[in-house]
Amino acid sequence: MTVGTSLLLIAVGAILRFAVNDSIESVDLSVVGLILMIVGAVGLAIGLFVLNRARPSEVPAARDRDVPPRDRY
């Protein structure tokens, strides 16, 4: 689940939880909104953790950047 999808789930869940007063027959939309917000928050936490882990932890040394490009021909 990506960060954007998680934010979408949180937004839709908040709308269902706080802005909708109706309920469908035997379905409480407030509870559905709460569940969507929880799932979105967990997905956001996992997504941010994975993105943070995927980044390189160290910057290449200056000598690596001073190497001239190779001739392609």
Residuewise pLDDT in 10s, the chain (73 residues): 688 999 999 999 999 999 988 778 888 899 999 999 999 999 999 999 988 887 766 665 556 556 666 776 6
How many domains does the chain divide into? 1
Confirm whether 21 is domain-assigned: yes
Q: Please give the residue range of the domain that contains residue 26.
A: 3-54
Confirm whether 34 is domain-assigned: yes
Confirm whether 70 is domain-assigned: no
Q: What is the pTM of this model?
A: 0.69
Report pLDDT for 7.
Answer: 94
Report pLDDT for 54.
Answer: 73
Confirm whether 61 is domain-assigned: no
Confirm whether 73 is domain-assigned: no
- State the burial class of residue 30 (Cβ atoms within 10 Å of its Cβ: 0-12, 13-18, 19+): middle
Confirm whether 68 is domain-assigned: no
* CA 2 – CA 50 distance, rounded (Å): 10
Confirm whether 37 is domain-assigned: yes
